[in-house]
């Protein structure tokens, strides 16, 4: 049994993506203990640490394959000369040809192509999303079984991306969604048969839930994602800083860094360090929390988590810790609303453009702090239910093979 895995990130610097990949690998090996697994990556050393039983496949080969495909599309439209020029250059780059051959061989020789948990099919990551859809289409044309787990879909307004998704995603057998509030209607609008869709929650719920401490913590976890897709402004970072310092002083507790995205990805520690400055907290913004297990355990020390990153919320809620999501973009609004829909209590969203943010955030945080013990059992129950749904979907995959 040969399985090729398309992960959410090739650099493996996002601890949420890394946790989902670890779960995918572990569950596939439970189903097929002797399987040969390959993961597309740009960080083979990190992959060896996170998933020691898999083999790396150079993402550069996938990149060459996608560029070639892209140029073919342009040639079909109006740029045949440009395409021929690109192909001629490719012929002189023997290393490119070798990488391309390696990638083609990996797809052609696999029995199963799996897309592990991701939130990338959205306008924010348009080119990458189209490239993933292209690879899925390629695998299907090679008559490979394709399954997608832990997927966050949308928002998508771009007509080309929507058209490609509608061309590729229908046909199954399994499209497993993180949440049903926005992902499910979007998938159905693309023509995906409802019988091929499962709502399973996020795959990273299980490792976090399994690490939950016996007693809830006594700190406030802090995360804020500054990136083009989060649309967080510098003035909003300072407002969040003042609000959190006020809340921590009122509650008499520490502020703990809970980064998710680390270099070479977008650096959460840089923003967290700025927020914690002057609070007596970590001076590195949590940069040393460089594995999913480390960040999960750090979150386990908290009573409430305030986060602009989706997976800090997943790791917290799965341990029975209430979450306040900070959103300024449609992308993060949908992510946090979907997460709140999967967990029946303990998750709310505050919008950073609220003119009263500096007063609203401490007030909401105190309310979450006071209700933490009460909501914890329900959150853990919700997490365990989602774990079961996700495991059932993986087991269902085996019936198709």
pLDDT tens column, 356-399: 999 999 999 999 999 999 999 999 999 999 999 999 999 999 99
Question: What integer pLDDT is reported at residue 265 of this predicted model?
Answer: 87
Residue 187 predicted with pLDDT over 60:
yes
111 and 179 within one domain:
yes
Q: For all residues of the chain together, what is the average pLDDT?
A: 94
Residue 222 predicted with pLDDT over 70:
yes
305 and 280 within one domain:
yes
User: Mean pLDDT, to the nearest integer, of 137-165?
Assistant: 96
What DSSP assignment string belongs to 292-318? HHHHHHHHTT-SEEEESSHHHHHHHHT
User: Mean pLDDT, to the nearest integer, of 191-195?
Assistant: 94
Question: What integer pLDDT is reported at residue 93 of this predicted model?
Answer: 66
148 and 12 within one domain:
yes
286 and 227 within one domain:
yes
pLDDT tens column, 380-390: 999 999 999 99
Comparing 16-25, 64-73, 96-105, 346-355, the range with the smallest average pLDDT is: 64-73
What DSSP assignment string belongs to 135-203? HHHHHHHTT-EEEEEEEEE-----HHHHHHHHHHSTT-SEEEES-SSSHHHHHHHTT--GGGEEE---T
The residue segments making up the domain with residue 307 are 208-385
| Cα(376)–Cα(382) distance, integer angstroms | 10
Question: What integer pLDDT is reported at residue 147 of this predicted model?
Answer: 97
Question: What integer pLDDT is reported at residue 401 of this predicted model?
Answer: 81
Question: What integer pLDDT is reported at residue 173 of this predicted model?
Answer: 85
**Within 10 Å of residue 391's Cβ, how many Cβ atoms?**
16
191 and 330 within one domain:
no
What 3-state DSSP class applies to 57? strand
Residue 159 burial (CB < 10 Å; 0-12/13-18/19+)? exposed
Comparing 61-75, 111-125, 210-224, the range with the smallest average pLDDT is: 61-75
Question: What integer pLDDT is reported at residue 56 of this predicted model?
Answer: 98
Question: What integer pLDDT is reported at residue 395 of this predicted model?
Answer: 96
295 and 168 within one domain:
no
292 and 282 within one domain:
yes
Residue 212 predicted with pLDDT over 70:
yes
Tell which residue, 79, 69, 86, has the closest CA to residue 134: 69
148 and 223 within one domain:
no
pLDDT tens column, 59-105: 999 999 998 887 776 666 665 555 566 666 655 566 788 899 999 99
Q: Read off the CATH number of the domain in which 22 is found.
A: 3.40.50
Question: What integer pLDDT is reported at residue 338 of this predicted model?
Answer: 96
219 and 175 within one domain:
no
Number of domains forming the structure of the chain: 2
pLDDT tens column, 277-331: 988 766 799 999 999 999 999 999 999 999 999 999 999 999 999 999 999 999 9
| Cα(110)–Cα(116) distance, integer angstroms | 16
Alpha helices in 194-325 (DSSP H): 205-210, 234-251, 268-276, 292-299, 310-317
Q: Read off the CATH number of the domain in which 256 is found.
A: 3.40.50.2000
167 and 80 within one domain:
yes
137 and 118 within one domain:
yes
378 and 246 within one domain:
yes
Question: What integer pLDDT is reported at residue 171 of this predicted model?
Answer: 87
Do residues 310 and 336 touch, judged by C-beta distance below 8 A? yes
User: Mean pLDDT, to the nearest integer, of 238-259?
Assistant: 97
Question: What integer pLDDT is reported at residue 267 of this predicted model?
Answer: 92
Task: Categorize the per-residue pLDDT at 210 as very low, low, confident or very high, splitting at 50, 70 and 90.
Answer: very high
Length of the chain: 401
| Cα(33)–Cα(80) distance, integer angstroms | 47
Question: What integer pLDDT is reported at residue 79 of this predicted model?
Answer: 57
């Amino acid at each position: 049994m040969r399985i090729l895995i398309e992960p959410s990130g090739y650099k493996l610097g996002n601890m949420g993506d890394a946790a989902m990949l670890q779960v995918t690998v572990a569950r596939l090996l439970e189903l097929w203990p002797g399987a040969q697994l390959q993961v597309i990556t740009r960080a083979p050393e990190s992959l060896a640490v996170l998933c020691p039983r898999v083999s790396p496949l150079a993402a550069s080969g996938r990149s060459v394959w996608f560029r070639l495909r892209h140029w073919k599309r342009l040639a079909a439209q109006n740029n045949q000369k440009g395409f021929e020029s690109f192909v001629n250059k490719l012929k002189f780059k023997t290393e490119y040809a070798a990488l391309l051959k390696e990638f083609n061989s990996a797809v052609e020789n696999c029995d199963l192509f799996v897309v592990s948990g991701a939130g990338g099919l959205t306008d924010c990551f348009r080119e990458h999303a189209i490239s993933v859809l292209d690879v899925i289409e390629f695998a299907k044309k090679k008559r490979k079984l394709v399954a997608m787990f832990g997927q966050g879909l949308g928002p998508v307004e771009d007509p080309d991306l929507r058209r490609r998704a509608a061309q590729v995603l229908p046909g199954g057998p399994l499209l497993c969604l993180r949440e049903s509030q926005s992902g499910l209607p979007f998938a159905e609008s693309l023509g995906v048969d409802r019988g091929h869709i499962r709502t399973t929650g996020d795959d990273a719920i299980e490792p976090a839930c399994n690490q939950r401490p016996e007693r809830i913590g006594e700190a406030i976890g802090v995360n804020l994602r500054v990136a083009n897709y989060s649309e967080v402004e510098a003035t909003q970072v300072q407002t969040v800083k003042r609000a959190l310092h006020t809340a921590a002083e009122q509650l008499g507790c520490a502020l703990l860094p809970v980064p998710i995205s680390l270099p070479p990805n977008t650096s959460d520690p840089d923003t967290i360090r700025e927020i914690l400055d002057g609070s007596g907290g970590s001076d590195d913004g949590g940069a040393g929390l460089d594995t999913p297990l480390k960040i999960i355990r750090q979150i386990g020390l908290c009573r409430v988590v305030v986060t602009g990153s989706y997976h800090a919320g997943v790791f917290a809620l799965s341990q029975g810790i209430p979450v306040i999501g900070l959103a300024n973009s449609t992308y993060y609004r949908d992510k946090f609303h979907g997460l709140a829909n999967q967990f029946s209590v303990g998750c709310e969203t505050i919008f950073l453009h609220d003119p009263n943010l500096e007063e609203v955030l401490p007030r909401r945080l105190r309310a979450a702090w006071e209700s933490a013990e009460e909501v914890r059992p329900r959150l853990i129950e919700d997490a365990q239910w989602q774990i079961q749904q996700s495991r059932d979907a993986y087991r269902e995959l085996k019936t198709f093979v």
